[in-house]
Amino acid sequence: MSKSNKLAKLKILRANKQNWRCFYCDYLMWQGDPTRFAARYSLPGGFLNRFQCTAEHMQPRENGGEDRHENIVAACKFCNQTRHRMSEVLTPAAYRQHVRKRVRAGGWHPRQFRHLLKEARHLPRPKRKARRG
């Protein structure tokens, strides 16, 4: 299997596990046909790309991160790109905390898209595996 096919499959697996919520901001994401997502959630076309599902490497490739299930999460394009544009790239946990703080304050994504967060909160949360130890 090619690297891009493997990464695409991992992205879909992680998105399903996360109920199509961004790992960082918790907003709903789309994959495939953006027009269906736009129609369902009344989004203008110019803003669709920010909610596109991407594969986010928890440990970046340039730092030795691999295309493995435990190193990939699904993140919206905006969160993924914004993390890597920061002057100091935060750890995934620190970035998630930063993003969620901004979301709670009513920021991060434009207010006109808050319904995507509300819709996501009506979906069941992914079940977490119990940790052994």
Residue 133: what pLDDT?
44
Domains of the chain, each with CATH number or no CATH: 3-122 (3.30.40)
Instruction: Report the predicted TM-score, pTM, of the whole model to 2 decimal places.
Output: 0.84
Q: What is the DSSP string of 7-45?
A: HHHHHHHHHHHTTTB-TTT--B-B-S-HHHHHHHHT--G
Main-chain phi, psi angles of 23, to 5 degrees: -55, -35
Helix or strand run (H / E) with residue 57: strand 53-57
Tell me the C-alpha distance between 95 and 101, whole Å.
Answer: 10
Each residue's pLDDT tens digit in the chain (133 positions)?
Answer: 677 799 999 999 999 999 999 999 999 999 998 988 888 888 887 888 999 999 999 988 888 888 898 999 999 999 999 998 988 889 999 999 999 999 999 899 988 888 887 776 665 544 545 444 4
CA angle 113, 115, 120 (to 5 degrees): 115
The residue count for the chain: 133
Q: How many CA atoms lie within 13 A of 47 on its CB side?
A: 13
